[in-house]
Amino acid sequence: MKLKGLFVGLTTIDIHYRVDTFPTSNAKTVAGACAMAVGGPATNAAITFAHLGGNSYLLSAIGQHPFTPFIEHELHQYHVALTDLSPTATQLPTVSSIVTTGGGHRAVITTRSSSPSSTSDATFIAHHEDYDIVLADGFNMDTCCGVAQQARQCGIPVVLDGGSWKDGMERLLPFVDIAICSEQFRSPDGSDEENVLAYLAREARELSGDHPR
């Protein structure tokens, strides 16, 4: 039986360029290769989960705009089932331009996040059998918190893709079982790694009942 994963968060349009060196100011550089694909933490995780043999379900705000057919085609191609959290929105999605050198260094220019969810109070998980795992990335925070709380009530493990601290993260962390955080993830307690780990450890103790909330 295939595992079922629910992925909540951001969908982007990623435009990748491969160059020998980064362009200098006022210079034009011809890329050795270029590709456009859907991206975003939750979306990338959903695609990877499906590629590894699971059933992927994505909750993300897409809307109606010129990129919509491309996004829907890509997700269908990768066998990811989509529920659009903002189906009537017309705002363009987040677009990221990613420049990568042969040595693996990269530079990223990105626009602001996509439209907020219009269904943040909906019930997406009602039973333990609905999903085997849930991942949230903190974009569309109200929906991430709601789904994570529903997952915890049903005994489904919740994973956080913590690329960076986002407004409202303190509301999401109490429902997180596994936090995978980047170097850019900074807690309110401070900016160094030791403080971040201490903050997450306190959240875990409070969640388990070792500390009063």
Mean pLDDT, to the nearest integer, of 127-143? 96
Q: Please indicate, yes or no, if residue 156 is contained in any of the structural domains.
A: yes
Distance from the Cα of residue 36 to its chain's centroid: 18
Residue 181, pLDDT above cutoff 70: yes
Q: Please indicate, yes or no, if residue 58 is contained in any of the structural domains.
A: yes
pLDDT band at 13 (very low <50, low <70, confident <90, very high): very high
pLDDT band at 211 (very low <50, low <70, confident <90, very high): very low
Residue 169, pLDDT above cutoff 70: yes
Q: Please indicate, yes or no, if residue 107 is contained in any of the structural domains.
A: yes
Higher pLDDT pick, 150 / 202: 150
pLDDT at 210: 46
Write out pLDDT tens, residues 50-81: 999 999 999 999 999 999 999 999 999 999 99
Residue 203, pLDDT above cutoff 70: no
Structure tokens at 183: 């170097």
Structure tokens at 56: 């992927």
pLDDT at 191: 64
pLDDT band at 212 (very low <50, low <70, confident <90, very high): very low
The CATH number covering residue 72 comes to 3.40.1190.20
Residue 192, pLDDT above cutoff 80: no
pLDDT at 114: 65
Structure tokens at 93: 């999605």
Structural domain count of the chain: 1
Longest dimension (CA), the chain: 58
Pairing of strands 4-8, 55-60: parallel
Q: Please indicate, yes or no, if residue 200 is contained in any of the structural domains.
A: no
Q: Please indicate, yes or no, if residue 48 is contained in any of the structural domains.
A: yes
Mean pLDDT, to the nearest integer, of 17-44? 93
pTM: 0.88
- Find the domain containing 121 and state its range: 4-182
Percent of the chain topping pLDDT 70: 90
Residue 120, pLDDT above cutoff 70: no
pLDDT at 213: 36
Q: Please indicate, yes or no, if residue 196 is contained in any of the structural domains.
A: no
- Residue 84 burial by CB count (10 A; 0-12/13-18/19+): exposed, middle or buried? buried
What are the strands, taking DSSP E only, across 9-51?
Answer: 12-19, 33-39
